[in-house]
Amino acid sequence: MSEKVSIQQLIEQNKGKGSKGSIEKIIPTILLIIASISVLTTLGILYTLLTETITFFTRVSPLEFLTNTHWDAFSQHPKYGIAALIMGTFKVTIVATLFAVPVGLGAALYLSEYASERSRKIIKPILEILAGIPTIVYGFFALTFVTPMLRTIWPALDSFNAVSPGLVIGIMIVPLIASMSEDAMSAVPQAIREGALGLGSTKLETALKVVFPAALSGILASIVLAISRAIGETMIVALAAGSNPEFSLDFTNSLQTMTGFIVQVATGDATFGSDIYYSIYAVGFTLFVFTLIMNFISQWVTNKFREEY
């Protein structure tokens, strides 16, 4: 009988054979470098934002930046109260969320629980096409179609407002909520559905009271990520929301978001090295902090409500 050789011994014997051994040693290093690119890119962005933001705060008081409710960067006596831009961003985000969450979850429930395999193969790709449309196209759609249509129903609505871009951003983030939520619902074991149906639940009761809670972690994570996407949207609000930063709860008037102000300045309205130029980095850093907070919330929600089967 031949001597038995363990698998571990065979692996050790093959490690040093010719060029294969050298390749095996190089591959982990190459993969580490590739994995480090995203980390290094993030650190580079953060370094740029921090250094330029610090320069801005040597010229403008951080207290004024955080507490003042007036933003007028282009006046003779400029005011830099970020609260006005934050309020504009929140108004658009609220409208987008109120539209996208019920539509996205409704689409996810249908695809997961009611649609046939043929219908799912047709509807889901069409939904995901919405995510691939350039945001500049969405912006012109909001400005030239949605706003005039809303003004025929709501004459008090200004040409630039929070409702129109909010609705279009909502349309844009629907695929994100629908796709991620549908994936979370489809991951719920079929045995749980069959158990609920066997106990006398209707299909709707099974979907809402069994599948939905079981997939809550993925659903909430998709909503948080979609809100984060809405906060960072640029071209839609730059075209359809206006450029009038205002700290008010009026959704019918022109407004300006954080990203909208960055676009306005980046198009050449400020000279290099001026206070206005450095202000876009302070606004960008504020936006970065909001996005980071939303990502942390998404991770917390995922871990808090995760169900393992």
The pLDDT of residue 242 is above 60:
yes
Q: Where are the domains of the chain?
A: 7-58, 67-304
The phi, psi pair for 271, rounded to 5°, reads -85, 150
Q: Sorting pLDDT into bands at 50, 70 and 90, what band is 93? A: very high
**Cβ contact 163:157 at 8 Å:** yes
Closest CA relative to residue 254, chosen from 180, 158, 186, 184:
158
Range from 127-141, 181-195, 268-282 carrying the lowest mean pLDDT: 268-282
Tell me: domain 67-304, CATH 3.30.420.40, correct? no
Mean pLDDT confidence for 26-35: 86
**Cβ contact 171:99 at 8 Å:** yes
Q: Sorting pLDDT into bands at 50, 70 and 90, what band is 28? A: confident
Mean pLDDT confidence for 92-115: 92
DSSP conformation class of 4: P
Closest CA relative to residue 92, chosen from 171, 170, 166, 173:
166
pLDDT (tens digit, 9 = 90+) per residue, 73-87?
888 888 888 999 999
> Would you state the pLDDT for residue 156?
84
The CA distance from 77 to 74, in Å, is 8
Longest Cα pair distance anywhere in the chain, in angstroms? Answer: 96
- What amino acid is encoded at 265 in this protein? V
Of residues 168 and 24, more confidence is placed in 168
